[in-house]
Structure 1
Amino acid sequence: MPEDFDVKLDNKYHLPDPAFIQNSSIMDYEKVYQESLSDPEGFWEKIAEDLHWYRRWDKVLEWEHPYARWFVNGKTNITYNCLDRHVFGGRRNKVALIWKGEGDDDERIFTYRHLYHAVNRFANGLRKLGVLKGDRVCIYMPMVPEQIIAMLGCARIGAVHTVVFGGFGSAALNARIVGAEAKIVVTADYAVRRGKSIPLKHLIEEAIINAPSVEHVIVLRRKQDQPIEIHSEMEIDYDELMASVDRKCEIEVMDAEDPLFILYTSGTTGAPKGIVHTCGGYMVGTYYTTKHVFDVKENDVYWCTADPGWITGHSYVVYGPLMQGTTVVIAECTPDYPDPGSWWSIMEEYGVNILYTAPTAIRMFMKMGELWPDRYDLSYLRVLGSVGEPLNPEAFEWFYKTIGKEKCPIVDTWWQTETGMHMLTTMVGQPMRPGFTGKSIPGVVVDVVDKDGESVPPGTGGFLVVKKPWPAMMRTVVNNDPIYRKYWSTIKDYYTAGDLAVKGDDGYIMVIGRSDDLIIVSGHNIGTAEVESALVSHKAVAEAAVIGKPDPMKGNIIKAFVTLRVGHQPTDRLRNELIYHVRITLGPIAMPSEIEFVDSLPKTRSGKIMRRVLKAQEMGLDPGDTSTLDE
């Protein structure tokens, strides 16, 4: 069984400068954590009182397993807390967004006042197109300010946004548009990557062919000197729409339990899962974690390198930091183009204090060596963060010593699309243990248990679970509530995360990896079912099975095992054709790095493919119990 393994634990710690404890917003972690356990509703109520509400809640939490209602009957709007309270509270001329593109002159800066007016205009533009509270809007854009403006504009009027990462292909995009029943799609003519323009609009045109819910497509035409053609029957120019409406917008008062957004995460069985987050609880959870996990200060310049197409971008690029009134850096650039100094140059230029990035990026920088970051002044850095997958001890040490100069705390965070907010970390000021994410944040109860829900001894592997509800938790899965209930019924009555973990004697938790059919590639969650479906849609493929194969740079790569239909032979040409087919269908992030042609796949007697057997064989490990194999 997955939980029956022992892990050799390294007891190495890094102790932060005592000044971090003295200046942090949570000075005594143990005391605050115990307070959150003794009165959880009072704990979250006190945090919620920092924010603006049109109507105070009647009750902090109604919990009828597995369904929660947070801040019952409270009325709010998250954009008021992101924008209005800063604009009318003394921060109107403070810089909200700094956007940096690949070119030397590619820079745009928005104060909170500028961002407020832009969001109001976009919200009015949506209303002009007939968008009402509860309507769904799909956003498929590059990392430009308009992507964030579109998200906030939707939230302003109560439209439910679903952001799709710009690296997905037309089939994956169509599945998400159809699943969300999007009324409006927002896109751009192109994205920029490594000096090249990557067209986006044609993918939208393909994706909406069989998407009857779509009424209009809003197109940001970035190339003003040679603008692409707009088809007036359905398409609308972004700038023209913005110019046609007022910069004052009446805000929609939202119930705390009204949906805020849908975000699709790759499913392990069949279609992607549309995770639903709501206005009140998500607002409180992301506000709290941004403030306390990163220990944000008034004059900080904050850079989370994630794309808003993922949950990290939602919670810790857009909503959490803007609720803090923080100056947020966003960048449409890769870390190694035009050279491996591109990120460090941005950090020097803008004096970044907080950097939140992925282990994949850290390992890539390790490979390039210390010479590149050492060329730049990174002395403003105060806090470093990691997200997306486990941060291995070697990468931790390099990040801590080379980038942080042994002065910056590292907050390695564990959480998910489903949780909406951080769940595990080492709070600023606490001893850091390389390889270990840390402990539950105050207000959250995470544990490592066996298959019966019993806590496992230190040093023994088990399943990661959350024992109590938390404000930013998802509320359901679009059109598939049984999948939501499964999260809360797989192990006892706990939320089961699908990750394996081990706990040390000190209570610190090491997250080891996935226990289900999800592959984390460079911090992106890729469902095996989506990749397998794309492969099987090719005329030559009979069956396919996909596994994650450990990789020192990406964390994992995708390897596919493929059986062919009669009349087709394995060739290098076919292998390349299948990789290209997945690229076109799902996008480059889902491309298999390896394809192995096989005569058959290991299956149970009921016909289920046993991917763990393939993975064990690939890694030279004992496949464990194979008594259910058909052969």
Structure 2
Amino acid sequence: MTPRNDDSNKFVNTKVVQGAMLAESLNNPEQFWLEEAYKNITWVKKPTAAYNFANPMKKYYVDWFADGTLNVCYNALDRHVEQGRGEQAAVIYDSPVTETKQVFTYNVLLQRVKEFAKVLDKNGVGKGDTVIIYMPMIPQTIIAMLACARLGAVHSVVFGGFASPELAKRIDDCKPKVVVSATCGLEGKLKMIKYVPLLTKALEISEHKPKVSIVYQREQCPVKLDVDAGFRYWSDEVASVQESPDVPLAVVESNHPLYILYTSGTTGMPKGVVRPSGPHAVMISWTMKNLYGVKPGEVFFCASDLGWVVGHTYICYAPLVEGSSTILYEGKPIGTPDAGSFFRIMQEYKASVFFTAPTAIVVLRREDNEHAVVKKYDLSTIRGLFMAGERCAPEIHRWWIEHTSGKKITEKIYQSDTIEKIAVDHWWQTESGSPITGVCIGVSEDPKEIAPIQFGSAGMPIVGVDLRVLKVKEDAHAEEDSVVQDTIEASVGEVGDIVIKLPLPPGFFSSLWNDKKRYFESYFKKYPGYYDTGDVGFVDENGYVHIMSRNDDVINVAAHRFSTSSYEEIVVKDKSIAEACTVGTPHEIKGQVPMVFAVLIGTATQNEKAEIAKRIAAQVRSDIGAVASMTPENIIFVGRLPKTRSGKILRKTIRTMVNYAGTHKDNLPTKCPISTPPTIDDPLIMNEIWITVAKLINPNFNPVVSRM
């Protein structure tokens, strides 16, 4: 293919190495990506072209490395053993909740994966078949994932402990031949989630009935399985294939699905994101080298969960494809046993890079605000500290740098003089499979050639990402689900919808499982020729991307649009605030006004809370202006915020409660009328927040007396 003749991207900053690489990838994609594919991945048949379109009128369907064939499991395991890395640690399992530490070398992991591939093969699983993996943070989850990839089967990992109805939806959608599970998951030493009853109920609900469910017995929760109902013991299944020959590696086409990962949708049915094998392998290898700067043999610590996209990519596939050692951590940032948990892992295993969510940092800030615990640990091996999941407020970002390096940063832009403990906020989505933006710390050994950190931003676009910001013209009008034809590109610093000009880079999702119509309508219909990220933000004069909020996290105050993050950034600057969530609440004159739910770092009396609220409201007026309409009365202090089990604040849930209460002000039920999200960490918080909201909307609300 020839270089793209598209209009050039005015946001690319070629003054830094990362920007120059981005420009090269956009201007000469054929050469750039073929070189990356040949350099980083072992192919059975090397691709002869970087990309093509089956239908040039539908560029949202792009085939990367279309004529290439490979096996991702081979790239993650076999080739490293063949190259002499067999005795290197592949997976380091550290579980403070079970007091277990276990190292799987590449040799051992390959043997275990081969064994389980034989188990799946024995149960009828082959190339193109689907397997649901409903498991906790244990090595057997990675083994099951890689065994599927070895066979060319398509795995769908469902977050362990998901409610039965949600699991049943996924079973019906992807129709697995086999379900792989475990007897329980552990969320701290005192909280156990028993999986078998949940799985049994899901199988009763679902219309599709897998013939076999293979269950790994954890010693913390032994369960007698109902063999007549199709349940099988993992250990028995593995023992039964010991004398059987290894199953041959499946050779798959580059765009053969590696996995399906379900993400929440606007309807009741989750969206099954499909990840193509070859493009994903190429992109994640590039990110390990260039974004994270991790070399083969080094240790990568991603404190996520295998049920989320971050865990898929940076606990399982990327470190192993790169020949690194990956840490599988079954624990929490605090409570297992304390706020030093992450740092103990970094020190003990000499991690080079650490990756977590901003919400985990907020928790650490609340527990170890004066840095007493972290000072006990040696973090000298850490080069990068990466954050993703939701926007990291500048105040939190600066605190994190001080917490981990001792450096107190006051500047808006920070250039590190060494490649040590560089703290990077980066942005990506389930659909992307790897980061869309960030600061690449591996592109040079010279720290001066690495883009500086700009607080409040999520870095610069990663190679292949032709990121644009679009606005609807002032005199144009479009319904929510209609095509927007009359758009213009935003200027530098101007807020608009963040989109990516097609084609999408390698590794992005290739479709939604069994739902091409929804694939098009959810992501490509609104802005023809672009992928709609669903996020609002801007690009500054240095090419840094600022993600402000989701499209539906914008408050319209007297015809002025404000991102909720613009309020939250100011609120958490206050030294008394640990974290905050802002939503819009109806107002009869202004349409909406902001309502802030804030969590204190410590305790405070009612009078102290009133002073804090006044102080924050004044600061918002000072920083944004009176038009922001922030009043002390709309700053509400709560003990905690509703979050997913991965730590994301459930803003939409709070917003829905506020809207419901506003429209049912005189007839508010005592129990929360909003459905509980399946990803919620603690369902009990729903009623806690509901009572708070209801009392605000209607001061006469009495949670004891029913208003049904």
Query: Do these two structures clear the TM 0.5 threshold for a shared fold by scoring above it?
Result: yes
Taking structure 1 as reference, are residues 551 and 495 closer, same or farther at Cα in structure 2, changes over 3 Å only?
farther
The CA distance in 1 between the partners of 2:308 and 2:538, in whole Å, is: 26
Match of 2:33 in 1: 44
Match of 2:537 in 1: 501
Q: How does 1:134-149 map to 2 (within 5 A)?
A: 134-149=128-143
2:439 is aligned with what amino acid? Answer: T
Match of 2:514 in 1: 479
8 Å CA contact retained: 1:268, 1:516: no
The CA distance in 1 between the partners of 2:197 and 2:203, in whole Å, is: 10
Taking structure 1 as reference, are residues 598 and 333 closer, same or farther at Cα in structure 2, changes over 3 Å only?
closer
**Deviation, structure 1 residue 334:** 1.1
The CA distance in 2 between the partners of 1:295 and 1:439, in whole Å, is: 16
The CA distance in 2 between the partners of 1:105 and 1:597, in whole Å, is: 39
Match of 2:348 in 1: 349
Taking structure 1 as reference, are residues 205 and 402 closer, same or farther at Cα in structure 2, changes over 3 Å only?
same
**Deviation, structure 1 residue 496:** 0.5
2:226 is aligned with what amino acid? Answer: H
**Deviation, structure 1 residue 508:** 0.7
Match of 1:419 in 2: 432
**Deviation, structure 1 residue 236:** 0.8
Q: How does 1:235-250 map to 2 (within 5 A)?
A: 235-246=231-242, 248-250=246-248
The CA distance in 2 between the partners of 1:589 and 1:325, in whole Å, is: 37
TM-score computed with the length of structure 1 as normaliser: 0.81
8 Å CA contact retained: 2:490, 2:496: yes
SS of aligned partner of 1:66:
coil
Q: How does 1:156-195 map to 2 (within 5 A)?
A: 156-195=150-189
Match of 2:467 in 1: 446
The CA distance in 2 between the partners of 1:490 and 1:571, in whole Å, is: 38
Counterpart pick for 1:595 among 690, 698, 706: 690
Taking structure 1 as reference, are residues 111 and 449 closer, same or farther at Cα in structure 2, changes over 3 Å only?
same
1:481 is aligned with what amino acid? Answer: K
Match of 1:361 in 2: 360
Alpha-carbon displacement from aligned partner over 1:579-619 (angstroms, at most 9, x marks no partner)? 8x737x665467636226999xxxxxxxxxxxxxx9xx99x
Match of 2:528 in 1: 492
**Deviation, structure 1 residue 459:** 2.3
2:210 is aligned with what amino acid? Answer: V
Counterpart check, 1:231 vs 2:230: no
SS of aligned partner of 1:138:
strand
Counterpart check, 1:31 vs 2:20: yes
Taking structure 1 as reference, are residues 323 and 548 closer, same or farther at Cα in structure 2, changes over 3 Å only?
farther
8 Å CA contact retained: 2:161, 2:195: no
Match of 1:385 in 2: 386
**Deviation, structure 1 residue 411:** 2.7
8 Å CA contact retained: 2:500, 2:530: yes
8 Å CA contact retained: 1:77, 1:253: yes
Match of 2:204 in 1: 209
**Deviation, structure 1 residue 392:** 1.1
2:350 is aligned with what amino acid? Answer: G
Match of 1:10 in 2: none
The CA distance in 2 between the partners of 1:551 and 1:126, in whole Å, is: 49
Match of 2:676 in 1: 582
Counterpart check, 1:402 vs 2:393: no
Q: How many residues are matched?
A: 543
SS of aligned partner of 1:410:
strand
1:582 is aligned with what amino acid? Answer: T
**Deviation, structure 1 residue 297:** 2.0
The CA distance in 2 between the partners of 1:199 and 1:405, in whole Å, is: 42
The CA distance in 2 between the partners of 1:548 and 1:346, in whole Å, is: 39
Show structure 2 runs of 5+ residues with no match. Answer: 1-14, 408-419, 442-449, 473-485, 555-563, 565-593, 600-640, 642-647, 699-708
Taking structure 1 as reference, are residues 549 and 115 closer, same or farther at Cα in structure 2, changes over 3 Å only?
farther
Taking structure 1 as reference, are residues 459 and 551 closer, same or farther at Cα in structure 2, changes over 3 Å only?
farther
**Deviation, structure 1 residue 29:** 2.3
With a CA cutoff of 8 Å and minimum separation of 6, indicate the structure with the bigger relative contact order: 1
Counterpart check, 1:372 vs 2:410: no
Match of 2:69 in 1: 75
**Deviation, structure 1 residue 399:** 1.4
TM-score computed with the length of structure 2 as normaliser: 0.72
Quote the sequence identity (%): 33
The CA distance in 1 between the partners of 2:506 and 2:383, in whole Å, is: 28
**Deviation, structure 1 residue 229:** 0.3
The CA distance in 2 between the partners of 1:43 and 1:551, in whole Å, is: 47
**Deviation, structure 1 residue 95:** 0.3
Match of 2:551 in 1: 515
